[in-house]
Amino acid sequence: MNVPYEWRIGWRYTRASRSARRNGFISFISGVSVLGIALGVAALIIVLSVMNGFQKEVRDRMLSVIAHVELYERWGGALPDWTQLAAQARQHPEVVGAAPFVPAQALIARGEDMRGAMVRGIEPVAEATVTPLAASMKDTFARLKSGEWGVLIGVELANALGVREGDALTLVAPSGQVTPAGVVPRLKQVTVAGIFSAGHYEYDSGLVLMHVDDAARLFRTGGPTGVQLKLKDAQQARQVAAELAAQLGQQVVVRDWTQTNRNWFDAVQIEKRMMFIILTLIVAVAAFNLVSTLVMTVTDKRADIAILRTLGASPRSIMGIFIVQGALSGVLGTLAGLGLGLLVAFNVDVIVPFIEQILGVHFLPASIYFISSMPSDPKSSDIIPIGVISLLLALLATLYPSWRASRVQPAEALRYE
């Protein structure tokens, strides 16, 4: 196979610059450039993989408590027949579970302590088909019985109020009763039937679960005000929600979990995007170190360039030689960075405990963080753009020095040789 001489000479220059003693400084600078690209690419992959891991961990814990899709009657109030609406939604092939619920805001108090809470009235048996938390705590959820006014509260809320199972609490409904003396808030004493831990602070510190019939009576809704749906794939929630909205008509409001948690979802995406941009600048700095390497190489190879020109090489060919030399450094750095980054990203669960053991520290103490181990989730959608951007930056860095090499005049270059 005939390899163009630009490639052969460019490869020879790359090897020579690393082996020739008189070019030791150039070799050092070139090695630093390759190492910088490799470390920048590896850092990008590791950081984004860990961010993906945290995002997945938090999302999974969030989705263990909430449904993938929620359906409401457009004008508010109780649904005429939630079972019929659930049956219509179940016709969609992605929907695998449905359950009624009553969402509301309330105050929960014990003595002088009072906290705001998200109250959700649920049907325990149907709830197990919708949320993993209910499915994993069927016996606890079964304690919620109509008319007994039992509640399940998160572990953080229980600690804040200082209550245990069997203790009494007071729920204060936001809309009160109108009496001759004015508006009197509606109060109801409830019993702690159980305590759950979802691993998500927002729900562990502010969610109260009770039977759907009790919630409807307390908040005077007249019945369930919404239907929760579970999907085969939570990542398809937006698409499925749009399809259900078209299927169920304008009388039904459809909201997926990315809408109900839009602030968190948007914040994570913006944070990830900004980290990608910041770390890409590290790769850019390392890639443009190739400029200084190639400028020094061009200066050192002026005599070689002049000889090649006198032998008939065109300026375009000379430019191609140094583009090949710089691009090879970019490829080597990118490949090394990809290898190192993936090696660390796939073994974070081993590497981090090893470092913690050596240093005698714990990066994520279980007493402070709900996630006590460093998660990692490498994705091809992150890794491929990182590799492509690194190669493009390295290629751009070679253009100016290569153009300078193509402008070398043979007579000038050989005058002092």
Which pLDDT score, from 0 to 100, does residue 69 have?
92
Q: What average pLDDT does this structure show over 379-398?
A: 87
Q: What average pLDDT does this structure show over 53-79?
A: 85
User: Rounded to two decimals, what is the model's pTM?
Assistant: 0.74
Q: What average pLDDT does this structure show over 183-190?
A: 78
Least confident of 1-15, 26-40, 328-342: 1-15
Is the pLDDT confidence value at 278 over 90? no
Is the pLDDT confidence value at 187 over 80? yes
Distance CA 259, CA 265 (A): 8
Residue 235 carries which DSSP code?
G
* Digit-coded pLDDT (tens) for 164-183: 998 999 998 877 665 565 55
Task: Give the model's confidence band at 10: pLDDT under 50 very low, under 70 low, under 90 confident, else very high.
Answer: low
Task: Give the model's confidence band at 281: pLDDT under 50 very low, under 70 low, under 90 confident, else very high.
Answer: confident
Is the distance from CB of 13 to CB of 325 less than 8 angstroms? Answer: yes
Is the pLDDT confidence value at 135 over 80? yes
Is the pLDDT confidence value at 116 over 60? yes
Which pLDDT score, from 0 to 100, does residue 19 have?
43
Q: What average pLDDT does this structure show over 263-281?
A: 81
* Digit-coded pLDDT (tens) for 285-316: 877 777 777 777 777 667 776 777 677 777 77
Which pLDDT score, from 0 to 100, does residue 214 have?
92
Is the distance from CB of 72 to CB of 104 less than 8 angstroms? Answer: no
**Which tokens go with 85?**
């609406």
Task: Give the model's confidence band at 340: pLDDT under 50 very low, under 70 low, under 90 confident, else very high.
Answer: very high
* Digit-coded pLDDT (tens) for 203-244: 888 899 999 999 998 888 888 999 999 999 888 888 998 999
- Label residue 340 exposed, middle or buried (CB < 10 Å: 0-12, 13-18, 19+): middle
Distance CA 148, CA 142 (A): 12
Please give the residue that has the higher pLDDT: either 306 or 85: 85
Q: What average pLDDT does this structure show over 39-52?
A: 89
Give the chain's mean pLDDT: 82
Which pLDDT score, from 0 to 100, does residue 415 have?
59
| β-bridge pairing 150-154 and 182-196 | parallel
Is the pLDDT confidence value at 20 over 50? no
Burial of 65-77, coded b for 16+ CB within 10 Å and e otherwise, reads: bbbbbbbbbeeee
Which pLDDT score, from 0 to 100, does residue 401 have?
79
